[in-house]
Amino acid sequence: MKPTPRGWPRISSAVFYEDAAKAIDWLCAAFGFEVRLKVEGDGGLIVHSELVYGDGLIMVGSTGRKAEERDRSFCVSPRSVGGANTQSLCIIVDDADAHCRHARDKGATIVVEPATKDYGDEYWADRSYEAVDPEGHHWWFMQRVREQGERAK
């Protein structure tokens, strides 16, 4: 494979919000993202944004319309489709418990409390939790506690 463009991971994801500007502020405050780029259009709609977390990157954009005006737009918030989710994002963190406490303090809904899952000596073990943001996107935060092939201690 050729190298990726400077500053871009091989894979990134985009999530859409009815109020993307508010979501960007919330994602930064609750989950620790940093704004790398934010492009605003007419009426304050977020045309494009890039939020980074370490070497990871997500793009956040506006759905462009209010839910009652939506027709067959493919860029929707889970809030506008009864909470249905088409993706869950997973972010590796240094300390899942501390990250969870901070996210909860900033208003994240924790739907799965931090827990360690050990997949056996041939695999790995992670400590993770699941949170839902104000518009219904699901986020998994994971801390690797044992690498693949390491013996359980």
Confidence check: pLDDT of 2 > 70: yes
pLDDT score of 88: 80
Q: Identify the CA nearest to 38 among candidates 15, 60, 58, 56.
A: 60
The token pair that represents 93 in the structure block: 């963190």
Residues 48, 52, 56, 60: what is their CA dihedral angle, to the nearest 10 degrees? Answer: -30
Confidence check: pLDDT of 20 > 60: yes
Any idea what the CATH number is for the domain that residue 128 is in? 3.30.720.110
> Do 152 and 113 belong together in one domain?
yes
- The answer to the question of residue 127 being in a domain is yes
> Do 21 and 53 belong together in one domain?
yes
pTM reported for the whole predicted model = 0.83
Band the pLDDT of 21: cuts 50, 70, 90.
Answer: very high
- The answer to the question of residue 69 being in a domain is no
Confidence check: pLDDT of 92 > 80: yes
Provide the residue range defining the domain that includes 50: 11-63
Letter string b/e over residues 99-122, b meaning 16 or more CB atoms within 10 A of that residue's CB: bbebbeeeebeeeeebeeeeeeee
Band the pLDDT of 126: cuts 50, 70, 90.
Answer: very high
Average pLDDT over residues 3-19: 87
Q: CB count, 10 Å around CB of 24?
A: 19
CA 31 to CA 53: how far, in whole Å? 9
User: Of residues 79 and 133, which shows the higher confidence score?
Assistant: 133
pLDDT score of 67: 45
Phi, psi (5° rounding) for residue 72? -105, 30
pLDDT score of 68: 47
Any idea what the CATH number is for the domain that residue 34 is in? 3.30.720.120
> Do 59 and 90 belong together in one domain?
no
Band the pLDDT of 62: cuts 50, 70, 90.
Answer: confident
> Do 146 and 108 belong together in one domain?
yes
> Do 49 and 90 belong together in one domain?
no
Residues in CB range of 84: below 8 A, 6 or more apart:
78
**How many independent structural domains does the chain possess?**
2
> Do 58 and 109 belong together in one domain?
no
